[in-house]
Structure 1
Amino acid sequence: GSARTNACGSACGSAPACVQTMGLDGRCCCGYFVDGLESVACARCSRRQHGRCVGVHSSDAFFSEHTCPVCRCSTVDPFLVPHDGDDGACFAVGLTSRAVTRTHDPEISLQWFLSAEQHRLLLCASSHTSSSPPPLVLRAASLLCPPKGKKRQQRWPNATQLFLNRAPLPIVHYDPVWDGISYKDRHLDEPVELPMHLLRVGQNELKVVFSDAAPHAVAVQMMRRRTVDDIRRQVVGEGTLSYDEALRRVLQVAGSSDDDDLVASAKVLSLMCPLTRMRISTPIRSSRCSHLECFDLDAFLQCQSAARIAKWACPICAADALPEQLRRCSWTARVLEDGAFRGATEVQVEPDGSAAPHVAAAAAISSARKRTVDEVDDLGDDLDVKVQQVGGRADDPIELD
């Protein structure tokens, strides 16, 4: 009946004491309704959260770019995407810091209903005979809320223990390390795929026991696995810049100068991938990158697929490079396909956007080799002179006593 005040200090309607869920019913991740309170909307799904719960306030610079815990957990691993859309994939989400007490280990309980059809889909996916991972999984993920520096890495609260329907679950969690100044995260934690033999049709419960004052968002979601080819098709199909857009980017970078009093000069652009040291096949860079250099799409995706903890960062500037942020550069692709640049590893980009093979590096190497040969010849001539000065010849044998 009467309004209650939750742990974040907001007056909210009633909510279960031990269960924290956020669905489409207008609840925040703390389990209480958002009506009439200062709230922030997710830039992706438009769900609203209490600003205090997610650590975002209207005065923050990134207020309009806020991403809710559900969407953030969905992007922990780009090879796993929500099954049946964001809304149908999320079963439960909770906020750990709202359950902290001083009398016992804090814990939260996430409860959800698994239908017979959902259970059948998961069972069929887990029983496939292929050696590859199952194409459909029910997964629990956890992140800091709010993230430090907008990081999306998986992070379990310190000393986390998980129990699925009262059975303990193993997790991959590394405690922060002390560097002499502060504790630093290793960014090696992994989400947990909930095993089928512990799931049941009907009500399920995931209990999270932890010892960490920092707030974390924990979400249980049904995820569909994607392949490298799936992401490649997404990037090429949705992330390709038109030639005019790519040319404007080239003019913006190549035509700029650090000094306003100086005329912009030509820039050298490498056509070699920094990951493979081979010529680029499909040139891409992140929308967050400010440089003109590209890297190879296939090499980048293979590196992310092979890594235990994929970083999804630009290999040149370390900017975020999630699949939806990757852009294929049509200007660089045209240069790579142009017969005039066949075999070239570098091109010279003029301020007007035109390109020509860059030969300065090869000329410098040739000049350096010529100087080395000339120096050796001069050294040999000096040796002949010194030998003749002592009454011998350079080709006389040396006799040993």
Structure 2
Amino acid sequence: MQLNKNGYEPSAWTRTLTVLSALFLLWGCGKGYGEQQAAPPPPPEVVTVTVTPRKIELTTELPGRTSAYRVAEIRPQVNGIIQKRQFREGSDVKAGQLLYQIDPAPFQVALDSARASLGKAQANLPSIRSRVERYTELLVDKAISRQDYDDAVSAVDQAKAEIEYWKTQVAAARINLGYAQVNAPISGRIGRSNVTDGALVTAYQPLALATIQQLDPIYVDVTQSSAELLRLKRNLETGRLSADRENGKAVRIVMEDGSPYPLEGKLQFREVTVDPATGSYTVRIVVPNPEHLLLPGMFVRALVQEGIAEAAILVPQQGVSRNPKGEAVALIVDDVETVRQRILILNRAIGDQWLVASGLSAGDRLIIEGMMNVRPGSVVKAISRDALTVDGDPPHANRPSGEK
């Protein structure tokens, strides 16, 4: 027999109530636990973007190198000794500016000699003409023979020819004297000098005295695959791309350090032949270069416009993956909140987005977050990316389940 704390034995009725209360509590707890286990889990949350076609400009990035707009190699046109170099290496020169002075003394002497000979020939002509006039009168009276008269007339013609000869000699001597001054044929930046004062130079020698390059504007020569050209023409013919009549020849330049060049170039021409070794052809672009940021031989990239895509589909790259076959796949949410898989054909990457050629349509909801928690056929709760908080991290309630 057990006694309570007051020393009395509990009655049978009290014991019965205690047992029934314990059983009721156990039954109630078991029922609540079973109902909690039977409740279905909520569908996983995913973040989606709605596919919206838009008009974009398609460009092709082509590698190339810069080259001078005009190049002039300075060579002497007469033999002589360099007296003085008249420019500073690496400076800008103007067309007609004196670059080198060749010793002019021998050319001045040749000019003076030719002038003297011309004067002598011109001085002989009047006397020969007077002789012809006298012989004409004597011939009438038959005081001289016909042969003497013909010789006098021929002497006049010879004197005139001699005068013309010495005139050309004077002109040639004057030209050679002018060639003693080596002037710049074009405006531009001149490089280092290959000769110094006192050097002996010869006419049209293989070694150039210096080289002038015009840097403003400057050429950018890029190469493009002939297959790309055919694809571009086909897209224009089928209407997938439309030509931009206003800005179709505008070209943007990216410098070799990745920074954009501030001024736009202009497409000048495409080569008419394809290099059989590489299957590519050259595209030449003219770029303004007033600050001389671009120098000949620099590696650059040119963004050449292909055309305008009126209804292009761009999607974030994070929403596209690859299946075991290497095909591009994406998951979308249909009208009944069910996940569907689409196989895509991608055109190219534009920034952090893919340009989709086929596989998606306007209005499709593409899953970009939460893809690891769902599979095709799963029912999900789709949350539009536009509905998420843009300032800072989105709240946990808006995040797909399983995302941190």
Q: TM over 0.5: same fold?
A: no
- TM-score w.r.t. length of structure 2: 0.21
Higher relative contact order structure (alpha carbons within 8 Å, sequence separation ≥ 6): 2
Query: Considering only CA atoms, is the larger Rg found in Structure 1 or Structure 2?
Result: 2
- TM-score w.r.t. length of structure 1: 0.21
Higher share in strand: 2
